[in-house]
């Protein structure tokens, strides 16, 4: 049976089974305005999370800042263009069934209110680029 399922943050269009992983340390380092933190009043432990729900987990701040970084958490929501992510392949087979047929899965998003504005340079010479 062909494998075709795709959700936000995961692609199952071939047998490589890829997942997008967000690196919360990258969110912290870039000072993303959507990264929030809160403290547990009982233990004093600080946690961080993403207001945009690009990842749903809340993570201990100490783990994020530790040497070597925390590692990635699975992307569960629609990302913004600046979100730091990498793609992890679950299976590294060879042959047609493992060949990528969804190269755009590796790109950042270019849609939505914060999407990258791309335009065709040929439109400039024709004077049709709007502002
Ligand atoms: S919006 Fe993106 S960069 Fe910002 S906290 Fe969420 S995942 Fe990180
Ligand atoms: S290799 Fe390409 S087609 Fe296959 S699961 Fe990964 S992103 Fe999808």
Q: Mind listing the pLDDT tens digit for each residue in 101-129?
A: 999 999 887 776 666 554 545 555 555 44
For residue 86, report the distance from its CA to the centre of ligand 2, in Å.
13
Q: Is the pLDDT of residue 28 over 90?
A: yes
Residues above pLDDT 90, as percent of the chain: 65
Report yes or no on 30 lying in a domain: yes
Which residues make Cβ contacts (< 8 Å) with residue 117, sequence separation at least 6?
A: none
The sign of the torsion formed by the CA atoms of 99, 103, 108, 114 equals: negative
Domain count for the chain, please give it.
1
Report yes or no on 130 lying in a domain: no
Report yes or no on 131 lying in a domain: no
* 84 — pLDDT class (breaks 50, 70, 90): very high
The pLDDT of residue 25 is 92
Report yes or no on 26 lying in a domain: yes
Report yes or no on 23 lying in a domain: yes
Q: Ligand 2 pocket test: pick from 14, 90, 96 the residue with the most ligand atoms within 8 Å of its Cβ.
A: 14
- Residue 108: which domain range? 6-125
Dmax over CA atoms of the chain, in Å, equals: 64
The pLDDT of residue 34 is 96
For residue 81, report the distance from its CA to the centre of ligand 2, in Å.
20
């Amino acid at each position: 049976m062909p494998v075709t399922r795709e959700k936000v943050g995961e692609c199952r269009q071939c047998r490589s089974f890829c997942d997008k992983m967000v690196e919360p340390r990258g969110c912290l380092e870039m000072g993303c305005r959507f990264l929030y933190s809160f403290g547990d009043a009982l233990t004093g432990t600080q946690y961080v999370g993403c207001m945009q729900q690009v990842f749903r987990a809340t993570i201990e701040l100490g783990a994020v800042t530790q040497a070597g970084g925390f590692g990635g958490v699975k992307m569960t929501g629609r990302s913004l263009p600046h979100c730091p992510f990498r793609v992890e392949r679950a299976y590294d087979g060879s042959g047609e069934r493992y060949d990528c047929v969804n190269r755009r899965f590796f790109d950042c998003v270019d849609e939505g209110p914060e999407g990258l504005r791309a335009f065709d340079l040929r439109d400039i010479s024709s004077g049709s680029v709007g502002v």
